[in-house]
Amino acid sequence: MKMKVVFLNLLLVVAMAVPASAHFQMIYTPEIAKTKGAETDLKLVFTHPYEAGHTMKMGMPEEFFMLHQKGEEGKTKKYDLKKLLKPITWTSLTNSGEAYEAKLPKKIVRSMGDYTLVLVPAPYYEGEEEIYIQQITKTYMNVGGLPGNWAAPAGLKTEWIPLVKPYAMWTGMTFKAQLLSDGKPVPNADVEVEYMNHEPDMKNNAFKKEAKSEAPHDAFVTMGVKTDAQGYVTFAIPKAGWWGFCALGSGPDKEFKGKELSQDAVIWIKAVDM
């Protein structure tokens, strides 16, 4: 009996010792700075990227679209990508979860300019905390180096507005972005930052087992920063690869189906070595 109690206590300690990594909605494609337009594969996964940890079951997104603009004076074209979504199963290092993929035809990723990918997922019910989480997520692509609308708001309930070209970051550069809720800056917001530490395997819909870095302490798995009085964050990028920024509960919607809703804003950027 005593042994059983000791064992249960040990199990509890081990369970609690698992680093608390953060939820991150991903929109992933390997190459975002494209020389020429090309067919583009995207994976939408709701997971814990640093540790390639538990992957959550995504429902059919509320919205998934792309905004394209060629040149700063060009007109913004909107493409609905929801009809291109196909369900997949994504395998993390600890489980498998329902996710989505989309193959963008070359005809819509042909022109030079900026492409903003926007995902408004269905709220996800986190049973343990009895809350819903909805991470409104953006990432960017560029073709041919001609800039467009990368610094323009997409008109989302909550979103990050980058002040640095998010597809043209060298490792070591400082990323700066402003957090908006209903178009207004959000001061003093809690922002979680994670590195995509396990490269996604596009063919097998899984994270690769090899980690790119080792966290010396749990606090390095999910880093914390806060927005300043005008809603800005700055963050120097220490390593090549993908970096995600998630502002917790920054959106205006606070309730869904009678439960608390955390409406978060996520942005993904990619840095490359010189």
| Chain contacts with other proteins (rule: CB under 8 A) | 36-37, 70-74, 110-113, 143-148
Q: How far is the CB of 231 from other proteins (least distance, A)?
A: 24
Smaller CB separation from other proteins, 74 or 153: 74
Q: How far is the CB of 110 from other proteins (least distance, A)?
A: 6
Smaller CB separation from other proteins, 35 or 89: 35
Smaller CB separation from other proteins, 37 or 49: 37
By the 8 A CB rule, do 130 and 256 touch?
no
Smaller CB separation from other proteins, 90 or 140: 140
Q: How far is the CB of 112 from other proteins (least distance, A)?
A: 5
Question: Residue with structure tokens 């490792």?
Answer: 171
Smaller CB separation from other proteins, 136 or 169: 169
Q: How far is the CB of 111 from other proteins (least distance, A)?
A: 6
* Non-local CB neighbours of 252 within 8 Å, separated by 6+ positions: 157, 158, 181, 182, 263
Q: How far is the CB of 31 from other proteins (least distance, A)?
A: 17
Smaller CB separation from other proteins, 147 or 200: 147
Q: Give the CA dihedral 203, 207, 212, 214, nearest 10 degrees.
A: -170
Q: How far is the CB of 145 from other proteins (least distance, A)?
A: 6
Q: How far is the CB of 116 from other proteins (least distance, A)?
A: 15
Smaller CB separation from other proteins, 72 or 253: 72
Q: Give one DSSP letter per residue of the chain, joined into a string.
A: -HHHHHHHHHHHHHHHHS--PPPEEEEE-S--EESS---EEEEEEEE-TTTT-PPBPP---SEEEEEEESSTTSPPEEEE-GGG-EEEEEE-SS-EEEEEEEEE-GGGS-SSEEEEEEEEPPPEEETTTTEEEEEEEEEEEEETT---STTS----SEEEEESS-TT-EETTPEEEEEEEETTEE-TT-EEEEEE--S-EETTTTEE-SS-S---SSGGGTSEEEE--TTSEEEEE--SSEEEEEEETT-SS--EETTEEEEEEEEEEEEEE--
Which amino acid, one-letter code, is at 22? A
